[in-house]
Structure formats: structure tokens, C-alpha cells
């Protein structure tokens, strides 16, 4: 147990490292997001991530948002287990035809007002996979999309920027 506490103490709060010039941009971004979320969602934004046919690359970067460096929850952004609890659907991947109905149902289960973010090149424009017998292509071919975040996959920082852009709408 002492080892554990020692590591916690010696690690400190890594999130504060954003004060350093290198990551200053992120800090500014985060605060900005917080302000806007405060306005529209009284301090919290619930996101439901839906993989509609991703290669899993985007999922890794969504996971990273929750690591201590980005600590996205401190901005009031958190990921929820059910679309019924969500304000935002964060959809990754092309929409595979086998996932089309599941995505539509998830969308319908999300209460209004809701936003849809298409994350990554596949979700935004079809990416490497495009449209085929197995793929509906971009998310906007299946459900209305409010914004897209490009990248293969987008870095966690770009993802945060994307959330900000959504707030500005």
C-alpha cells in the first residue's frame, strides 16, 4: 500500500503540466470548452461513443481523452453507457451496413436536443473504406451530422478542439 501512495504522491497531478508552454494551447481550449458547456448544458456534456464500423484506431484516441494528461472530465465532459443519457453521439468509422440499424436505433434513443459528431476520416467522408456493398460510407449518409472531426485518427488534442468548434455553432 505504501508503494501505491508513494507513486501517487511522486507522480503528482500531471494534468497541471498543461501550464507549461508546450501544452498551453490545450489548457486554453479546455477552459473555453468549460465556459461554453456551462452556458448550454449547465456544466456537463454527456457523450455516447458509437463505433459504427471503425478500425478501432479512433477508439484508442477517445480513451486517451480520459487519461490524466487530458482528463476530459474536469471540463464537465464525460462518457456515458447509454444513449438515453447522452447529449452528444460521437460516431466513429464508416457505417457498416450491418451496423446501420443499430446506429439508427441509438440515434433515436438519444433525447433531444442532441448533437452528432462524426469523428475521424471514415466517419467524416468515408476515409479508406468509402461506400460499398458492406459500408454506407460517411455517417451523414445515415443520420444527420452536426460536425466532423478529420484525422486518421484525430489526436486527442484535435478531438478536444472539435468539441470546442461544436460549442461555437
C-alpha cell at 164: 470546442
List helix spans (H) across the chain: 2-11, 24-41, 57-65, 100-109, 120-125, 156-168
Of residues 29 and 55, the one with the C-beta less far from another protein:
55
Of residues 44 and 155, the one with the C-beta less far from another protein:
155
Least Cα distance to 86 among 124, 54, 117, 57 occurs for: 117
Within residues 66-85, the interface with another protein by CB under 8 A covers 66-69, 79, 81-83
C-alpha cell at 35: 465556459
Site stretch for another protein (CB under 8 A), options 26-34, 38-46, 57-65, 161-169? 57-65
Q: Does 62 bind another protein (CB under 8 A)?
A: yes
Cα gap 28→34, rounded to integer Å: 10
Output the CA–CA distances (angstroms, integers) from residue 14 to 2, 70, 124, in the order listed. 20, 9, 32
Among 31, 35, 132, 165, binds another protein (CB under 8 A): 132
Among 21, 133, 168, 169, binds another protein (CB under 8 A): 133
Site stretch for another protein (CB under 8 A), options 29-37, 38-46, 65-73, 159-167? 65-73
Of residues 38 and 110, the one with the C-beta less far from another protein:
110
Of residues 3 and 169, the one with the C-beta less far from another protein:
3
Q: What is the three-class DSSP state of 62? A: helix
Q: Does 101 bind another protein (CB under 8 A)?
A: yes
Amino acid at each position: 500500500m505504501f508503494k501505491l501512495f508513494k507513486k501517487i504522491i511522486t507522480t503528482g497531478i500531471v494534468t497541471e503540466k498543461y501550464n507549461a508552454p508546450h501544452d498551453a494551447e490545450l489548457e486554453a481550449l479546455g477552459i473555453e470548452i468549460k465556459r461554453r458547456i456551462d452556458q448550454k448544458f449547465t456544466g456537463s456534456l454527456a457523450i455516447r461513443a458509437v463505433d459504427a464500423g471503425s478500425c478501432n484506431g479512433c477508439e484508442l484516441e477517445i480513451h486517451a481523452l480520459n487519461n490524466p494528461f487530458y482528463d476530459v472530465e474536469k471540463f464537465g465532459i464525460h462518457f456515458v453507457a447509454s444513449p438515453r443519457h447522452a447529449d452528444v453521439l460521437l460516431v466513429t468509422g464508416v457505417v457498416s451496413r450491418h451496423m446501420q440499424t443499430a446506429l439508427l436505433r441509438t440515434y433515436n434513443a438519444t433525447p433531444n436536443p442532441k448533437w452528432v459528431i462524426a469523428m475521424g476520416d471514415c466517419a467524416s467522408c468515408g476515409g479508406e473504406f468509402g461506400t460499398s456493398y458492406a459500408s454506407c460510407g460517411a455517417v451523414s449518409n445515415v443520420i444527420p451530422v452536426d460536425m466532423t472531426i478529420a484525422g486518421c485518427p484525430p489526436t486527442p488534442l484535435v478531438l478536444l478542439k472539435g468539441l470546442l468548434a461544436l460549442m461555437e455553432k
